[in-house]
Each structure stands twice: as C-alpha cells, then as structure tokens.
Amino acid sequence: MRRWSIIFAWILAIGFGYLALREAQVLSRTLNYNDALENPQNLADYSELTPQFMLIQAWALQQQGNTQQALALYNSITQADPADFAQNNQQQIRETALYNIGVINLKQAAEHWNEKGVWAYTEVTMPLNLAKQAFKSVLRSNPRHWNARYNLDYALRITPPPKEREKQGMTESRSSVHAILPGLPGGGP
C-alpha cells in the first residue's frame, strides 16, 4: 500500500510540475506581448514576426500615422494560410487585421469626401470599396462583429452615387432655368 502511495505522489508531482511549466510559458508569452505593446519600436524584422507581433507592429505604425506600412503589415497577416489561423485558434487576429484595413481605408475615404466632396470621386470610391470588402470579410467570419457592421453601414451611407454619363445629342447649354420653363400668362397661380 505504501508503495502505491509513493507512486501516486510522484505522478501528482510530475503533473503539477507540468502544469507549472505550462503556466510559466503562458506568463512568459504574455510578458513578451505586453512588452511589445509598450515598446513596438523594439520589434525588429517584419518577416520573422508571429502574426500577434505583426498585429502589434501594424497597430503602432497606424497610431504613428504611417498607414501605408500598417496596411502592408495587415495585408501580410490576412494573406497567411487560413489553415494556420484555424489550427492555432488565431482567427481573431485575422479578423482584427481585416477590420483595421477597413478602418484605415474608411478614414482615407472620409477625409477625401470631407475635403473635396463628390469632386474627388475616385479618391473616395477606391478606398471606400476596399473598406467595404474588408468589413464584409470580417462579417463573413464573425457575423456578431458589431463594429464592422456599424462601419460597413457608414461606408454604404457615404458611398457617392455613380457618375452620370454624358447624354449623346445634348449639346445645348442654357444659362438660366427660366429659359426652359414655360411661362404662365398673367403671372403665377
């Protein structure tokens, strides 16, 4: 009986040691992520970063106003093999990258819209279409992502109407609206 209790004690000690080792790994990884969030400039080469650190680096670039490099990093996250994301339970990282791509493009479109209005049709519609695609991708993978739903709705609301084509045969130009309205004899109604 004493022999079984010693074996059982060893098994428990090995089990607790294994659990302690796993928790130490999680704690170490968490400390690394927190350090990266506090000091994103310390992250080195983009090609060797994990998707988590790439997301942190892209977010830091976005906060600094360097949106083109941030977009490049976000796109590299979304171009990763979807099997890797499903396998490592990192689908949320991909969704966040897609959402941030949509936000950056939506901000660019809104800035052009506010500066120049409909006159900047191409500068508004191109980033707006990219933003709508990104938000739709997020909603396909997670229909409960309310921020993506709200921003997609906003993007749809500020989408300018399609450009009208010039009508063939309309060569006249009139200087006044009153010139084409029929006159009422004796004044108005």
Whether residues 10 and 96 fall in one domain: no
Domain count across the chain: 2
Whether residues 112 and 152 fall in one domain: yes
Domain range holding 31? 1-38
Whether residues 73 and 146 fall in one domain: yes
* Residue 114 domain flag: yes
Give residues with Cβ within 8 angstroms of 70, minimum separation 6: 58, 59, 61, 62, 100, 104
pLDDT one-digit tens code per residue, 27-48: 877 777 677 666 666 655 555 6
Residues of the chain with pLDDT > 90, as a percent, come to 23
With a cut of 60, say whether residue 183 has pLDDT above it. no
pLDDT one-digit tens code per residue, 94-149: 899 999 999 999 999 888 888 887 677 878 888 999 999 999 999 999 999 999 99
* Residue 180 domain flag: no
Q: What is the pTM of this model?
A: 0.63
- CA–CA distance, 140 with 136 (Å, rounded to integer): 6
| pLDDT reported for residue 179 | 47
Whether residues 147 and 60 fall in one domain: yes
Whether residues 52 and 139 fall in one domain: yes
